[in-house]
């Protein structure tokens, strides 16, 4: 069965600093997709970044980047120059026929 | 394009009642998925519909059902509500492998 594990329930980072959120996953599929979603207090799940498993290059979206280690089944999210608006729950997710979510990491931004 | 629209945003129901939640996907998206989010269990997949056919189903009891209409709008029904059904229910519409979520319906069962 596919699983997604986020080992950090909560993290804090100073505004303007860099933070890395960890995620490991397990799947027997060779073709799959990985995502990081952000859920602010408004509850809407917002897609932050995506990675196709067949692509070796790590995805980047502005201040957000990932470190995708396929052999290790690791998919961490790095947020650079953290901003107050980045405070939210962050979910790592794996998709093959459906989306499997991790339990989430609550990120606090300290002014 | 308008995003995924879920109605209602909030619901309070009594144990034993039934409830219907609605989801309108992004225009042109034919796939709709439903997820239940609770503090204890996190986000769990309920089911997915594509072109009015259920394509995939999660591990939920038969009290949870859904359907999709020809305009891709989807409804989810929960019968004989239990206290444990209190949750945020999220709907997502899919374009290829990308899923876009609505703001959810907060269901409280009392």
Which chain A residues are within 8 Å of B88, Cβ to Cβ?
43
* Interface touch B104/A43, C-beta < 8 Å: yes
pLDDT in tens, A60-71: 999 999 999 999
Cβ(B37)–Cβ(B107) below 8 Å = no
Residue A91 corresponds to which tokens in the numbers above?
A: 């979910």
Q: To which H or E segment does residue B108 belong?
A: strand B105-109
What is the strand order of the sheet B19-24 is part of? B5-7, B19-24, B74-78, B64-68
How much is the average pLDDT of B46-53?
95
pLDDT computed for residue A30 by the predictor: 86
Strands (E), chain A: 3-5, 10-14, 19-21, 24-26, 33-39, 46-52, 60-61, 64-69, 74-79, 88-95, 99-101, 105-110
Nearest CA in chain B to A101: B43
Which chain B residues are within 8 Å of A33, Cβ to Cβ?
97
pLDDT computed for residue A104 by the predictor: 97
Question: Who among B45, B58, B103 is closest to A43 (CB)?
Answer: B103
Question: Who among A46, A50, A97 is closest to B56 (CB)?
Answer: A97
Nearest-angstrom CA–CA distance, B99 and A109 = 27
Nearest CA in chain A to B5: A44
Residues of chain A with pLDDT under 50: none
pLDDT in tens, B56-103: 999 999 999 999 999 999 999 999 999 999 999 999 999 888 999 999
pLDDT computed for residue B32 by the predictor: 97
* Interface touch B42/A33, C-beta < 8 Å: no
Q: Which residues of B touch A (CB under 8 A)?
A: 33, 35, 42-43, 45, 48, 56, 58, 88, 90, 92, 97-104, 106
Cβ(B65)–Cβ(B77) below 8 Å = yes
Q: Tell me the pLDDT of chain B averaged across its residues.
A: 95
């Amino acid at each position: 069965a596919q699983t997604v594990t986020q080992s950090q329930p909560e993290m804090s980072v100073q505004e303007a600093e860099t933070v890395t959120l960890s995620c490991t996953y397990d799947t027997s599929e060779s073709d799959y997709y990985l995502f990081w979603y952000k859920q602010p207090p408004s509850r809407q799940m917002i897609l932050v970044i995506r990675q196709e498993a067949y692509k070796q290059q790590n995805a980047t979206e502005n201040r957000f980047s990932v470190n995708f280690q396929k052999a290790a089944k690791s998919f961490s999210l790095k947020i650079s120059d953290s901003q107050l608006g980045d405070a939210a729950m962050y979910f790592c997710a794996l998709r093959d026929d459906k989306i499997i979510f991790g339990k989430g990491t609550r990120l606090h931004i300290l002014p | 394009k308008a995003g995924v629209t879920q109605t209602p945003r909030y619901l309070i129901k009594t144990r034993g009642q039934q409830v219907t939640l609605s989801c309108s996907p992004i225009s042109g998206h034919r796939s709709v998925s439903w997820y239940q989010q609770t503090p204890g269990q996190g986000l769990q997949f309920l089911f997915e519909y594509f072109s009015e056919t259920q394509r995939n189903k999660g591990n939920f009891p038969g009290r949870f059902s859904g359907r999709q209409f020809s305009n891709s709008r989807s409804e989810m029904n929960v019968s004989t509500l239990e206290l444990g059904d209190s949750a945020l229910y999220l709907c997502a519409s899919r374009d290829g492998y990308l899923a876009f979520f609505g703001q959810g319906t907060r269901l409280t069962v009392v």
